[in-house]
Amino acid sequence: MSPQNHLYKACLFDMDGLLVDSETVYTKTTNLILERYNKDPLPLPIKAQMMGRPGDKAAEVVINWSHIPMTTQEFVDEQQVIRAKFWSSMSLMPGAEALLQFLNTKNVDMALATSSNIANYQMKTNHLRDAFDLFGDNVITGDDPRIPPGRGKPHPDIWLQALNLINQTRGKQSLPPLSPKDCIAFEDSVPGVKSAKAAGMHVIWVPDAAILNLFHDQLKELVDDQCELLMNLEEFQPKKYLSGA
């Protein structure tokens, strides 16, 4: 349903590449491992396949492409060690904190739905608590036990669980529950877009410009009445979409 004839009541967010500039760190650390095995740097089409997926699934993409002699778990563990050195210098994406602060002042329900596991989520956000504390308890990570194995993005489960958290909070405030059609989901990756659309939410797709070029032939499939394309979060106009904004 387009915003021209519907006002939404909740905003749900992906994290990596949307709210925080973690994709730069992912690429840098992946290339360090590839270099160790005399492999070429990560090409953009392979990076695009990794984006938005749980860590083990993203690792499988790299290993299958590069044929490096590592198991999925070995790759994930090695990346964890290397990335830990970079997280504290990672910044928010343009417009991210301003949007979250605005939604908070307008009492718009918010939740975070990230494929990162809880340990990585904490390391990525410890120095950015002014922004991420605005989600309160409405945070679902990729390793949450409420998401069945193999049901990460592009499956819809993580978004529906994030909405469940919002409704639990609303219940404590004696407010009626929301349904997926009441929600906007913000995403930067194609698997994430497909995931949120499958959950029945309206999607704001904010892709990296270079990644967008790779999916030019899929734009008609991805961008439709249920999904809109913005080039950054600063382009989002709350009054166009949100009840009470």
pLDDT above 90 (res 243): no
pLDDT bucket at 5, cuts 50 / 70 / 90: low
H-only helix segments in 10-112: 22-36, 44-50, 55-66, 72-83, 96-105
pLDDT digits 0-9 by tens, 162-218: 999 999 999 999 999 999 999 999 999 999 999 999 999 999 999 988 888 888 888
Question: Is residue 37 very low, low, confident or very high in pLDDT (cuts 50, 70, 90)?
Answer: very high
Last residue of a domain, one of 31, 55, 88: 88
Q: Are residues 74 and 154 in the same domain?
A: no
Q: Which two tokens stand for residue 151?
A: 């049901």
Residues 136 and 47 occupy one common structural domain: no
Q: Give the pairing of strands 227-229 and 202-205.
A: parallel
Judgement on whether residues 208 and 135 belong to the same structural domain of the protein: yes
What is residue 118's DSSP assignment?
Answer: H
Co-location of 101 and 200 in the same domain: yes
> pTM for this structure?
0.87
Would you call 109 a catalytic residue per the annotation? no
Q: Are residues 114 and 209 located together in one domain of the fold?
A: yes
Selected catalytic residue, list 14, 109, 144, 188: 14
Same domain for 79 and 174? no
- Compute the distance between CA of residue 112 and CA of residue 177 in angstroms, rounded to an integer: 18
Which range marks the domain in which residue 98 is found? 3-21+91-241
How many Å apart are CA 75 and CA 68, to the nearest integer? 9
Do 12 and 79 fall into the same domain? Answer: no
Domain count, the chain: 2
pLDDT at 1: 44
CA distance readout (Å), 144 to 55, 74, 219, 224: 13, 21, 31, 31
* Residues with Cβ within 8 Å of residue 66, at least 6 apart in sequence: 34, 37, 39
Q: What is the mean pLDDT of the chain?
A: 93
Are β-strands 202-205 and 183-187 bridged in parallel, bridged antiparallel, or unpaired?
parallel
Regarding whether 77 and 123 lie in a shared domain, the answer is no
Give, in order, the Cα–Cα distances in Å from 5 to each of 105, 241, 243.
24, 9, 12
Say how many C-beta atoms besides its own lie within 10 A of residue 239's C-beta.
9
Percent with pLDDT over 90 in the chain: 78
Mark whether 217 is an active-site residue: no
Q: What is the pLDDT of residues 97-141, one digit of tens each?
A: 999 999 999 999 999 999 999 998 999 999 999 999 999 999 999
Q: Are residues 43 and 146 in the same domain?
A: no
- CATH label of the domain that carries residue 53: 1.10.150.240
Domain boundary among 71, 88, 105: 88
Out of 88, 107, 124, a domain closes at 88
pLDDT band at 51 (very low <50, low <70, confident <90, very high): confident
Do 155 and 227 lie in a common domain?
A: yes
Same structural domain for residues 191 and 121? yes
The CATH number of residue 237's host domain is 3.40.50.1000
Same domain, 16 and 27: no
Q: Where are the beta strands (DSSP E) in the chain?
A: 10-13, 109-113, 139-140, 183-187, 202-205, 227-229
